Structure 1
Amino acid sequence: MTPKAKSDNITFSLDQHELSENEQFVLDVIQEYLDKNRYFNESKIKPIVLSRVSKSSININKEGIKLILKSLVEKNFIVNGSKLVKEDILKNSNRKKIYSYILEHPGTYFNKVVEKFNLSNSVVEWHISMLSKFGFIRREKINSHEVYFSKEISKAKGKIIHLILREKCDQILKYLERNNNGHTKTYLCKELKMHPKTIKKYLKRLIDHNVLYSNTQKNRTLYFLNYDYYQELKQA
Structure 2
Amino acid sequence: MSTPDNLQSIVCNLIKEYLKKKPFFSIEDIVVFISNRVRANPNLNKNSIEIIIKNLVKKRVLIPGTKLMKNNIIEHPIRNEIYNYIRKNPSNINDIMKAIKIGSNQALWHLSCLEKFRFTRSKKIENQRIIFDYDSNTDLDELYYYLKQDIVRDIITLLKDENTSFKITEIATNLKRNYNTVKKYLEILKNLNLITVEKDKKRNLFRLDLEKYEKITKSIIDGEI
Provide TM-score, normalisation by structure 1: 0.79
Whether contact under 8 Å (2:97, 2:104) holds in the other structure is yes
The CA RMSD over aligned residues, in Å, is 2.5
Q: Distance in 1 between matches of 2:194 and 2:8?
A: 44
Q: Distance in 2 between matches of 1:200 and 1:115?
A: 30
Q: Deviations over 1:126-155 (max 9, x none)?
A: 111111111111133322212211011243
Match of 2:215 in 1: 229
Matching of residue 43 in structure 1 with residue 28 in structure 2: yes
Aligned counterpart in structure 2 of residue 153 of structure 1, from 120, 136, 141: 136
Equivalent positions of 1:18-97 (< 5 A) are: 20-56=5-41, 59-97=43-81
Q: Which structure: greater strand fraction?
A: 1
Q: Deviations over 1:46-81 (max 9, x none)?
A: 122333443225x24544333322221122211111
Match of 1:191 in 2: 174
Equivalent positions of 1:88-107 (< 5 A) are: 88-106=72-90
Larger C-alpha radius of gyration, 1 or 2? 2
Whether contact under 8 Å (1:109, 1:147) holds in the other structure is yes
Mark the CA change 1:54 to 1:181 in structure 2 (over 3 Å): closer, same or farther.
farther
Matching of residue 128 in structure 1 with residue 111 in structure 2: yes
Q: Deviations over 1:20-65 (max 9, x none)?
A: 33322221121111111122321101122333443225x2454433
Q: Distance in 2 between matches of 1:150 and 1:195?
A: 33
SS in 2 for 1:161: helix
Question: What is the aligned residue count?
Answer: 216
Q: Distance in 2 between matches of 1:152 and 1:210?
A: 24
Q: Distance in 2 between matches of 1:32 and 1:176?
A: 60
Identical columns (%): 26
Match of 2:93 in 1: 110
Provide TM-score, normalisation by structure 2: 0.83
Whether contact under 8 Å (2:195, 2:206) holds in the other structure is no
SS in 1 for 2:67: coil
Mark the CA change 1:63 to 1:213 in structure 2 (over 3 Å): closer, same or farther.
farther
Q: Which runs of 5+ in 2 are unaligned?
A: none
Q: Which amino acid aligns with 1:228?
A: E
The Cα shift of 1:231 comes to 0.7
Mark the CA change 1:180 to 1:60 in structure 2 (over 3 Å): closer, same or farther.
farther
SS in 2 for 1:20: helix
Whether contact under 8 Å (2:156, 2:208) holds in the other structure is no
Q: Deviations over 1:151-189 (max 9, x none)?
A: 112433223322332332232123334333433333222
The Cα shift of 1:233 comes to 5.7
The Cα shift of 1:216 comes to 4.8
Q: Which amino acid aligns with 2:53?
A: L
